[in-house]
Amino acid sequence: MNPRQNLRQDHGHIMQMLVVLHKAVKNPARRAEWIEKFEGLMDFALVYIDRCHHAKEEDILFPALEKQQNAGGDLVSRLCREHRDGHALIEAILQQFNALKSRPELSFAELTRLSERYIALYRKHIRRENAQLLPLMEACLPAARQARIMQQFQRLESESMPPRQLKAFLALLKPARDQGPAKGTTAKK
């Protein structure tokens, strides 16, 4: 696996998570059934997306691109801003979710609104990365540098997420996988 394939795989998992999140917030009548799953989805967002996937990009890939004559400067700035916006939305979603857990009489509407904003942001963000960032990476970084980046990705994955946690996260995505690939996630080599 190379860095492009690794990031595309991450993007596929994230898009699947967005499908499951969408199902969770679109059916408030089944709220109790979704509470445990929703907590898992928020853990997925904080660990898999923020701590692992974003770290691959912000701590490893983006600095490597910047060393290549500042390749992708505007794109990298925009992607980092979208990462921050996504993290802020997850924090707001968690705050609303915790309020709903402690006071079930509260409306599900704000949680739904925040979640829909998060879903829309990340669908657009992932499409941008697939269409612009990944081709830029392949065009600007020599194969040897990409191989080192892949080693760094693997090390980061093992340090940020034990295999048991990754397996639990992927199990959360089963409803989306059963439906087929999320729109915009088909693998391209």
What's the burial of 1, exposed, middle or buried (CB within 10 Å: 0-12/13-18/19+)? exposed
Longest pairwise C-alpha distance within the chain: 57
Q: Which of 32-46, 54-68, 112-126, 151-165 has the lowest mean pLDDT?
A: 32-46
The pTM for the full model equals 0.88
Helix (H, G, I), strand (E, B) or coil at 82: helix
Cα three-residue angle 14-119-134, rounded to 5 degrees: 50
DSSP structural state of residue 182: P
Instruction: Give the mean model confidence (pLDDT) for residues 36-59.
Output: 92
| Model pLDDT for residues 117-156, shown as the tens digit of each residue | 999 999 999 999 999 999 999 999 999 999 999 999 999 9
What's the length of the chain? Answer: 189
Judge whether residue 34 has pLDDT over 90.
no
C-alpha span between 148 and 188 (Å, rounded): 22
Q: How confident is the model at residue 177 (pLDDT cuts 50, 70, 90)?
A: low
C-alpha span between 173 and 41 (Å, rounded): 9
C-alpha span between 125 and 171 (Å, rounded): 24
Catalogue all structural domains in the chain, each as residue range(s) with its CATH number. 3-173 (1.20.120.520)
Q: Give phi and psi for 38, each to the nearest 5.
A: -65, -40
Q: How confident is the model at residue 70 (pLDDT cuts 50, 70, 90)?
A: low
